[in-house]
Structures are given as C-alpha cells and as structure tokens.
Amino acid sequence: MRTRQNLHPTDHIECDFCVVGAGSAGSVVADRLSEDGRFRVLLLEAGPVDNNPLIHVPAGFLKLQNDKRINWRFRSEPSPELNARSLDLPQGKVLGGSSSVNGTLFVRGYPEEYNRWAQLGCTGWSYDGLLPHFRSIERYEGGDSADRGTDGPMPVVALAVRHRLSSAFIESAKSLGFPVLADINGLRDVGVGWFQQNRQGRFRASTARTFLSRARARSNLQLLTNALCTRIVFEDHRAIGVEFIRAGHLFHVKARREVILAAGALKSPQILQLSGVGPSNLLSCHGIPLVHHAPGVGENLKDHFLVRVAHRVQGCVTLNERARGWRLLRESLVYALLGRGLMSLGASNAVLFARSRDSAVPADLQLSFTPGSYAGLGKLELAPGMTIGLWQSFPESSGRVSIVSADPNVAPAVSLGYLSAQSDSGCLLAGIRLARELFVSPELARFSVCETLPGPLRISDAELLDYAREYGTSALHFSSTCRMGIDEKAVVDPKLQVHGLRALRVVDASVMPIASSVNTNAVTMAIAEKAASIIRSSAISHFSD
C-alpha cells in the first residue's frame, strides 16, 4: 500500500475505484477490492494516520471523544424534543474512522431485523444473505459455531476481565427470568450476557489495523490521508471521479470504474448534496447545480437515544476510582505487563436484550451495564458508581442531515428528531422501569447506596420523560441517511448503486433501510464485506468481457 505524502496539484491521479472514507466500511471495501491485484484502488481519508497511542488502548476511547485532531466533533441542531438542547456528536476522522475511536464492542443484531430489510425490497439482504459476510469478517475466538467465523481479519474476543458488579448485573437479570446467553452474537431473542470486543491481544482492533494492515504490501492500493473530499464529479449522470483538498490544494481524481462513497451516515449525505445529488430545493438554496434530484439524501436519520439509570456504589471498587490516583498507576502496570484490567475494557461490560411489551418481535430494548458512572462526555465521576445505559432498539423517530453551505469545510446541520414519534416514549419508559427493577434486585441492591439518575423523586411517566429530555444523549449509532430500497425516497438500490446515476455507490451505515437494533460497527463491516463482493463480481465480469 502506498501512502504518498507529497502531491502536486498538477499530478495526474487515476484509479479504477476511488473509495471515499477509510472507516469501518471504506477500509473493508478497499482491502477486498485490491486483494487480487486486478484493480487500482485509491482510498481517501479526511483525517490523519492512526498514530495517536490512545487509539490503540481500548479504554482510550474516553479520551478521544473531544480530540479535534481525529474527530469530526459534529454538534446537533437544538432539538425541541430535548428542551432545545444541542448534543456533541463525535465521529472518527482518522484512519479506521469510528472503529478507531468507538467502544470496541461487537454486536450483530437480530436475524429478524435483516429479514425485514429484505421484506422492504432489499433483495439479498436477509439474515441468510448477510450471514456469510458476518462470518467472513470475523475471527471469533469463542469456539466453533455454524453462525460464527473463525478465520476473518477482525478478531472478536471475550472481555479480558469480568468485573464483580457486571457479574451481579447478569445474576440480577437472571433472577428476573432472563436466560443467560453464552454468545450474545449467536441466534438469540431476549437474554443477558457478556459483551464481545474487537481487540487484538491488548490493543484495539480497528479496520485500519486489521483489513488495511494486511494490504500494506499491495502496490495497487494507494492511501491518501488528510484528504477532504469536496465533491463527486459527474459526466452525463455518470460518476467519473472526485475532487479533494489536501494541504490547502485542490486535487482531481479520475475513477475509471466507480466512485464508492463510504464517509459515514453524517458525511456521505453531505458529500452527495455538495455534489448536486439531493433535494433540489436544498441545493438551489446554496447555489449548487443540480445533477440529480434525490429527495431522500440526508433524510431518515436514525440513531439510538441513550438514557442512563445510575446508582452510587458501596462495597466495591468501580471504574471511577480505578481511573485516577494510585489505582490508575496500578491499572497501567497491569495493562502494560498482562494486557488486562481497566484499560483493556470497552464502553460496557454486559448487555441485556429485552421487550418493552410482549408483542415486540424481535426484542426492542437494549440495556448495557458499566461498573462506573459518567460526569459528562468521556468523563467518569469521582464518587463510585454503576450505570445501565438503555435505548429503544428500533426507534420510529427520525431526523435529517442537510448542508448549510456550499463550503465543504462547514459541517452539515444534524437534526436528531429524538422522541418525535410518540410510540418511542412508551418503549423508553419501559426500559427505565426495567433498569430500576434490576437495580433493586438483591444481586445489585447490596452494592447500592442510592439512585443518582434519574433520582428517586422522579416516579411518574411525565417525570421520567422530562428527565430523558433533559439528560438523554446520542448513542452515536447513526444510520439510514442514504437508505437502501426501491421506493421513491430510497437513495440506493440493493446493489448499493445510487438511483438515477451510474458508477456511484454508497457503502456505509447510511444505507441501512431501518435502524440497526445494536451498536453499528459490526453491521457496517458486514455491509461493506457484502458490497465488496457485489462490486468485485460485477467488475470481474466486465473485466473478462
């Protein structure tokens, strides 16, 4: 893999495939398309190389959320449903994208949700259609299973340490009648179990350090970092290349075969709109020439609205204390010598999948347990605490992403739309009440001093919803802004080709037809793996003609 650092604006840059974005999806696509050496692939990444040492420590994600060097640091529009609050929306702007800054958790989702994709007209995207790609991306180290892959590039491993409070959470859920899942990524319904991580030994396993690292010796793959794509270039409704800015200079790329947009659910719609593909009235407002009227570009933004229930802790040392003073020094030594302890952990330890109502199929609630508590984005509290973070798995509410300027350096407007659908409130309330049940069970209650969030004085539905509106935040699981489908608002078809255009595909979380029920990284990698197979098959058939 060539990583040229010195370019001149007069340089002639040409490739077969130009992939925009080296994140959870783009790194996978670039690796797979360059595998057999037939095609020249150019991979553009707006951020730098992933050489920040905190990236590679799993628990380092807490310190990366506000780092503007490797993070887009988007901010949402004030939301009327959240008392006019704006939220910080960190997203990876670095080699590996958000797989380099997320909580390292690997969760596949339910078979039923992918079958729903197929029912919506996305032929080939059922669970059976996606399962081979889930299996081919992963190197699962938890034993043989027909549903799990064991020889893929991405390691999927058990937590290196299991905290006492997390074990109590699992026992608490078991006491309420939930089955214990040996593998949360196997075929499942409701149940409780331990999270699995993308970790390679003691280090984070991002797509940059797995898929891309093995491509380094390939002369047909060129990587350019710090390269901001400004627009896609079209000729007669065919994508023929892209323009990007690097070191203050504008460069032009010619793509002989295809442009593959993999910039993520917030950036991909922005790039399309800047390129003249999107709602015609929006483009007209910003003086952008219309290439193709696509009203769905930027619409249907989905995300999980995260609400926390937290307790003050007694009788057990939590992550809060371990993250400072002499305990932090000890944790650093344990991690350096053994690759274990606090620093080997991701965003949460254990997870419960549950139903808000008996008729919910699949289960529509996820409750994640952390043996610590938060004082803000990326900050742990000083006093000992434990937290259940919960969300509705399939939110009905949706938002949008819209450009506010023709300048590619200006962030788009992100309107989240949380709780705009009334049905979401009932599911959220059920999740809060279930979290409270878990905390008062004997297994967890013996460690509790008191409830700190929402607080014991908030009891009624109205009081709990007021709390959610005031303190709820984003789970950072953005999707569906360039959704796949066959209706007039769909942006891409089941082969991920943009409707009405040629030689342009979108391959990232933005193509999900509905919200993924779980953390989006695993699903995004599987989408990219399947997309690469589709693209390569098409290209090879034309190559042979």
Q: Can you give 321-388 as a three-state secondary structure string?
A: HHCCHHHHHHHHHHHHHHCCCHHHCCCCCEEEEECCCCCCCCCCEEEEEECCCEEECCEECCCCEEEE
Give the Cα separation of 36 and 27 in Å (integer). Answer: 16
> Mean pLDDT throughout 269-291?
98
Dihedral sign for Cα atoms in the order 228, 229, 231, 234: positive
Q: What is the DSSP string of 85-143?
A: B--EE--B-STTGGGGTS--B-----HHHHHHHHHTT-TT-SHHHHHHHHHHHEEE-S-
Q: Residue 209 above 90 pLDDT?
A: yes
All domains of the chain, ordered by start, with CATH?
Answer: 1-72+91-145+207-304+400-410+476-544 (3.50.50.60), 160-194+305-392+419-471 (3.30.410.40)
Q: Give the span between the Cα atoms of 150 and 143, in whole angstroms.
A: 8
Cβ-Cβ contacts under 8 Å for 209 (sequence gap 6 or more)? 50, 56, 96, 200, 203
Distance between CA atoms of residues 396 and 476, nearest Å? 17
Per residue in 114-132, pLDDT (tens digit) is 999 999 999 999 999 999 9
Q: Which helix (H) or strand (E) holds 320?
A: helix 319-322
* Mean pLDDT in residue range 384-394: 97
pLDDT at 263 > cutoff 90: yes
Q: 355, 323, 294, 226: which is closest to 510 by C-alpha? A: 294
Q: Give me the pLDDT at residue 543, please.
A: 56
Q: Please confirm, yes or no, whether 237 is among the known catalytic residues.
A: no
Task: Tell me the backbone φ, ψ of residue 219, rounded to 5 degrees.
Answer: -75, -15
Given the residues 304, 311, 477, 499, the one annotated as active site: 477
pLDDT value at residue 10: 59
**SS3 of 287, please?**
coil
Element (H, E) at 527: helix 521-544
Q: What is the pLDDT of residue 187?
A: 74
> Residue 109's pLDDT is what?
93
What is residue 320's predicted lDDT score, i.e. its pLDDT? 95
The structure tokens 């929306």 sit at 89
Closest Cα partner for 91 from 266, 305, 273? Answer: 266
Residue-wise pLDDT for 394-450, tens only, equals 999 999 999 999 999 999 999 999 999 988 999 999 999 999 999 999 999 999 999
Question: Does the pLDDT of residue 1 top 70, yes or no?
Answer: no
pLDDT at 540 over 90: no
Is 207 in contact with 23 (CB distance < 8 Å)?
yes
Mean pLDDT of the chain: 95
Give the list of residues 6+ apart from residue 51 with CB closer than 8 angstroms, or none.
Answer: none
Tokens of 398: 């949706």
Residue 192: in which H helix or E strand, if any?
Answer: strand 191-194
Whether the pLDDT of residue 384 is over 70: the answer is yes
**Can you tell me which residue has the tokens 């990219």?**
528
Strands 305-313 and 473-474: antiparallel
**Contact indicator for 447, 314 with CB cutoff of 8 Å:** yes
Rounded CA-CA distance 360/362 in Å is: 6
Contact 233, 252 (CB under 8 A): yes
Number of residues in the chain = 545
Mean pLDDT of 327-342: 92
Region 528-532 average pLDDT: 99
